[in-house]
Amino acid sequence: MKFMMIMYPRDYGKAQPGFTPPQEAMVRMGAYNDTLAKAGVLVALDGLTPPATMSARVTFPGGKAKVVDGPFPEAKEVVGGFWIIKADSPEEAKQWASKIPGADTEMVEIRRFYDASDFDPECQKKFADRLAEDQYTPGNQK
C-alpha cells in the first residue's frame, strides 16, 4: 500500500515570501528522510513554499476554470510538504509518521492512496489494460 504523509505547519499560512525553514530543522528532516530511504519505504517527498511566495486556486464553477491568485489569509491549514511511502498496513504508516521530527506547531495527516482493489472488477480490468498499454508514462499517450 502507498500512503501520503502531509505536513501542516500551523504558522505556514502567515509566513512571508522567501521564508525557508531553519537550518537545524532541515538537518533533522534530512536525517529522517535518509531513514525512510534506507528502509526502502520512500517513494517521493518534497516541501512546498508558503502561500505568500506563490499560490493560486483553481475552481470550476459551471465546469469552467476560474483562477484566483493567493495568498489566502482565511486558510486555516496550509500544506508545507509531503512524503509518499510504501507500507504494509495503516499501522506501519502511522509508525513512520510518528518518527517525523516535528515541532509543537506541526501536524501530519496520513492518507492511503487508492489501490486497484478498491474498485469493482470491471474497473480493475480497465486499469490493467491501460497499464499494459503503458498509457500512464509521460510521452506514451496515444
Enter the pTM of the model.
0.85
Nearest to 110 by CA among 2, 1, 5: 5
**DSSP 3-state of 49:** coil
Tens of pLDDT, residues 41-100: 999 999 999 888 889 999 999 999 999 998 887 778 899 999 999 999 999 999 999 999
Residue ranges of the alpha helices (H) in the chain?
A: 23-39, 90-98, 121-132
pLDDT value, residue 135:
64
Residue 136 reports pLDDT greater than 80 = no
| DSSP code, position 119 | S
In sequence order, the β-bridge partners of residue 108 are 7
CA atoms within 13 A of residue 67's CA, in its CB half-sphere: 3
pLDDT value, residue 63:
96
**Alpha-carbon span 1 to 88, nearest angstrom:** 6
